[in-house]
Amino acid sequence: KNQVEQSPQSLIILEGKNCTLQCNYTVSPFSNLRWYKQDTGRGPVSLTIMTFSENTKSNGRYTATLDADTKQSSLHITASQLSDSASYICVVSAPGTASKLTFGTGTRLQVTL
């Protein structure tokens, strides 16, 4: 069964600190891996999209890495800000259509003063 597991479930960090969120998946075959940020009460917003041939992609202070051999991805947030407080969702897709999307349950990040 295709699965996407994220860790930790929740995380609290001080403003200005860095953090790394993990995503392990078993989806095979694999097409791409996406990271989304979801603020409370809002829809998810795309941060990065990586194909199996890419091993790193950045979007401002967000950097995603991918190791397709070990089926692991990480999202690194640099110099965190209060506005980074949100849920971060990892989504893996197999080739084909939307029914083959597998969602992680997310990591809830809280950035405090």
**Is 96 a binder of another protein (CB under 8 A)?**
yes
**Sequential DSSP letters for 5-35:** EEE-SEEEEETT--EEEEEEE--SS--EEEE
**Is 10 a binder of another protein (CB under 8 A)?**
no
Stretch that binds another protein, among 17-25, 64-72, 76-84, 91-99 (CB under 8 A): 91-99
DSSP state of 42: S
Token duo for residue 29: 């075959």
By the 8 A CB rule, do 6 and 25 touch?
A: no
Residue 84 Cβ, how far from another protein at the closest point, in Å? 18
**Is 40 a binder of another protein (CB under 8 A)?**
no
Instruction: Compute CA 88 distance to the chain's CA centroid, rounded to the nearest angstrom.
Output: 6
Residue 16 Cβ, how far from another protein at the closest point, in Å? 29
**Is 104 a binder of another protein (CB under 8 A)?**
yes
Q: Other C-beta atoms within 10 Å of 60: how many?
A: 8
**Is 93 a binder of another protein (CB under 8 A)?**
yes
Q: Site residues (CB under 8 A) for another protein?
A: 31-32, 34, 36, 41-46, 49, 51, 89, 91, 93, 96-101, 103-106
